[in-house]
């Protein structure tokens, strides 16, 4: 991506030099590779992290609870990873502010929290192993950049635009929160069966993918994309499909258990947003979606 001339967002809190407090899950016998797979399975399928660890270990491992390791150094304010995330966030702010303005509304951007190990949020305490996430309780995105890099390398979702796609996807959840979509879906899930609730979760996640694509369309028009960037995002969307992650964990692919969508679905809806550049085309809740 061409981000040299892109401004940095003021809505970034770097907590990587702070203690997250509370407890976190240790690697046990998995090692970093197994942890990455378990974390990806947990994050992108909604599975409890300890359950994901046991699945990857073949049901024989025990996850030990330990306190997060304290950082030994304070992150550099000009850390390239932080600068990159800040510039991507700024780009999403510009794109969504313009969209909301055209709709006669004002966009309230989220804050991006960078952390390491574990972090306390309005949604509770979370470990980096669950991956990037959005908490509607405090309108914040939470990302452990170290784990995100490892996750992408293991799952083949490499490249700067692939990383930007993950950030844009979480921003998509913020947009859903602002529009009231998340509240409606979560309300409907309360009285739904497990399969129906999962299906609603899939639609919500696919819409966030489509919103990420709509941002990507605007980024391309602004000249921020380079040759190969689109392929990176498509590969990322494919890599984090529920079916791909279940395969990676050597588990049977069970469509009724999907919570984020198959690789094909995630690629499709990202491309819908990318091709149209129109968030109104992201109606994943329609009958034909």
User: What is residue 82's three-state secondary structure?
Assistant: helix
At residue 60 the predicted structure's pLDDT band, cuts being 50, 70 and 90, is very low
Tell me if 257 is assigned to some domain: yes
Query: What total number of domains does the chain contain?
Result: 1
Domain limits at 198? 12-16+76-281
Tell me if 3 is assigned to some domain: no
Distance of CA 169 to the CA centre of its chain: 6
Q: Which position has the higher pLDDT, 188 or 23?
A: 188
Tell me if 193 is assigned to some domain: yes
Tell me if 84 is assigned to some domain: yes
23-37, 106-120, 137-151: range with highest mean pLDDT: 106-120
CA distances in angstroms from 229 to 9, 60, 163, 165, 225, listed in the order given: 22, 40, 10, 10, 6
pTM for this predicted structure: 0.76
Tell me if 45 is assigned to some domain: no
Tell me if 65 is assigned to some domain: no
pLDDT at residue 71 tops 70: no
Tell me if 205 is assigned to some domain: yes
E-state strands within the chain = 12-14, 24-25, 65-66, 111-114, 118-121, 124-127, 133-135, 140-143
Tell me if 286 is assigned to some domain: no
Looking at residue 42, its pLDDT comes to: 56
């Amino acid at each position: 991506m061409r981000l040299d001339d892109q401004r940095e967002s003021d809505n970034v809190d770097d907590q990587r030099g702070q203690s997250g407090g509370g407890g976190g899950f240790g690697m046990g016998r998995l090692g970093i590779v197994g942890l990455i797979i378990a974390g990806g399975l947990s994050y992108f399928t909604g599975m409890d992290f300890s359950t994901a660890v046991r699945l990857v270990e073949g049901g024989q491992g025990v996850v030990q609870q330990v306190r997060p390791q304290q950082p030994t150094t304070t992150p550099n304010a000009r850390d390239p990873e932080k600068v990159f995330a800040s510039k991507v966030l700024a780009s999403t702010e510009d794109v969504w502010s313009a969209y909301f303005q055209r709709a006669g509304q004002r966009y309230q951007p989220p804050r991006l929290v960078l952390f390491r190990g574990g972090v306390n949020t309005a949604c509770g305490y979370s470990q980096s192993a669950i991956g990037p996430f959005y908490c509607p309780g405090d309108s914040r995105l939470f990302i452990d950049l170290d784990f995100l890099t490892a996750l992408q390398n293991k799952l083949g979702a490499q490249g700067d635009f692939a990383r930007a796609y993950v950030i844009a996807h979480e921003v998509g959840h913020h947009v859903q929160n602002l529009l009231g979509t998340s509240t409606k879906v979560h309300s409907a899930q309360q009285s739904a069966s497990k399969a129906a609730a999962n299906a609603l979760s899939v639609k919500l996640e696919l819409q966030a993918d489509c919103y990420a694509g709509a941002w990507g369309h605007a980024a391309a028009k602004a000249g921020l994309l380079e040759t190969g960037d689109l392929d990176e995002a498509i590969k990322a969307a494919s890599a984090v499909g529920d079916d791909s992650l279940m395969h990676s964990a050597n588990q049977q692919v069970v469509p009724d258990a999907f919570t984020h969508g198959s690789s094909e679905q995630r690629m499709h809806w990202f491309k819908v947003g990318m091709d149209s550049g129109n968030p109104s085309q992201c109606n994943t809740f329609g009958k034909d979606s």
